[in-house]
Amino acid sequence: MSQNYTIAESYVLPSKGLIYDKEVNPKIKLRSMTTEEEMRRLSPSDTPYKTMCDIIESCMLEKPGISVYDMCLGDYQFLMHKLRVVTYGSEYKMIVTCPNCGETHEVKISLDDLEEIEYDAKLEEYKKIRLPVSNKEVTIKIQTPRSLDEIALRTKELKRKMRELTYDPSLMVTLQSIIDTVDNKKMSVPELENFVKKLPMKDVTYIIQTAEKLNRGVGLNTDVVVTCGSCGYDAVTTFRLTSEFFGPTID
């Protein structure tokens, strides 16, 4: 008789389900990954975010009523971290260089210690903005794992179809993905492309930075404090996703 060696833990989404336009149950139960999920993770894919979202969903014992692929990036990031914790534990090794003495060394942090950023109603102000130069009113979409895959695929497609391009279209494609309406109007693909191409760069920067604030407003704060083993200096560094995340080395 086979035995179930998986571990399961319950969590609550940082967004509390409040950032979505539909009703979402924020209570999630995740089990640990098995060989089957790891094989899927290691398989080549043109849509890596979808692959990871599918793995997370297959490990869900309690589901929220929304696809992980359509969650905000903060909830997706949170679930990916918790899947790693329930599978391998919270200890995570990082290689850091001390900004004080210059020594490079290995440190261990706890993923459970990363600060959780919960939904705040103030985030709603980032969804509709007035551009500083053109004075256009723009509504902004919440970015999702699906939208990131679509940006990458669309950029790749444009580069393949238009080999004579003298520029990288990723910025244009990203803006098209972020912008929902302009002056309360949904534009066609050609209209939106033309609008984006002619936007003043100050407006573009404003849109990109506002979208980043919206994305960072929910999820995990990936700033961590690490202590240098040589000089004892406490430095703030940013969490980095390495092979240690889904393949921690054994001491």
Q: What is the pLDDT of residue 235?
A: 86
Domain ranges of the chain: 8-119+218-238, 121-216
Q: What is the 3-state secondary structure (H, E, C) of 106-172?
A: EEEEEHHHCEEECCCHHHHHHCEEECCCCCCEEEECCCCHHHHHHHHHHHHHHHHHCCCCCCCCHHH
Give the C-alpha separation, 14 to 78, whole Å.
7
Query: What integer pLDDT is reported at residue 228 of this predicted model?
Result: 84
Query: What percentage of the chain exceeds 90 in pLDDT?
Result: 78
Mean pLDDT over 65-69 rounds to 96
Instruction: Supply the pTM of this predicted model.
Output: 0.92
Neighbouring CB atoms inside 10 A of 205's CB total 12
Judge contact between 153 and 173, C-beta under 8 A: no
Q: Is the pLDDT of residue 160 over 90?
A: no
pLDDT for 104-158, tens place per residue?
A: 988 889 999 999 999 999 999 999 999 999 999 999 999 999 999 999 999 999 8
Across 3-15, average pLDDT: 88
pLDDT for 119 equals 96
pLDDT in tens, 191-232: 999 999 999 999 999 999 999 999 999 999 999 988 888 888
Q: How far is CA 198 from CA 91, 191, 246, 251, in A?
A: 48, 11, 43, 55
- At 3 the pLDDT is 63
Q: What is the per-residue pLDDT for 62?
A: 85
Say yes or no to pLDDT of 1 above 50: no
Mean pLDDT for the stretch of residues 19-45: 95
